[in-house]
Amino acid sequence: MMEIFDVRSRPGILEEAIQYFWTQWGSESNYNFYKDCIKQSCHTDSDIPRFYLALENNKIIGSYAILRSDLNSRQDLCPWFACLYVDPEARGRKIGELLQTHAIKECKVKGYSSVYLCTDLTGYYERTQWKYIGKGYSLNDDETRIYEYRIDE
């Protein structure tokens, strides 16, 4: 059976969580960035950032995060759904959709009416009712697509 949980609720898995997120999304030069961000998320009174894992048979099979900012050029938008990842051997079972649904429920509980994401993928998020709202730019000027999920609709 799979379960999805906030990393802060399981301090014993913190180091494994840091390693998992960094391995999927980081680079050689930003391990401490991920470590600090995830550790601090476990101690803040703020409702975000939060990091979530999907666990099945005591193995991490997926992740996502809810962040204050995932795209520096769009500081006007918050919160951001980020770090969605499903291990290749667990794909094809709609786990990505389950993680998205979990994130949307978490954002609703936290009082948000919309949640955003940025990606270069096309076709994937549209299937789960995310709406393309325009382009944004990363710090190195790479163009990305911005999507919104309206929770209150």
Count of domains in the chain?
1
Question: Residue 124's domain is classified under what CATH number?
Answer: 3.40.630.30
Grouping H, G, I as helix, E, B as strand and the rest as coil, residue 147 is strand
Domain interval for residue 144: 2-150
Cis upstream peptide for 88 (omega within 30°):
no
With a cut of 90, say whether residue 5 has pLDDT above it.
yes
pLDDT of residue 138: 85
With a cut of 80, say whether residue 141 has pLDDT above it.
yes
pLDDT of residue 139: 83
pLDDT tens across 42-84, in order? 999 999 999 999 999 999 999 999 999 999 899 999 999 999 9
pLDDT tens across 94-120, in order? 999 999 999 999 999 999 999 999 999
With a cut of 80, say whether residue 90 has pLDDT above it.
yes
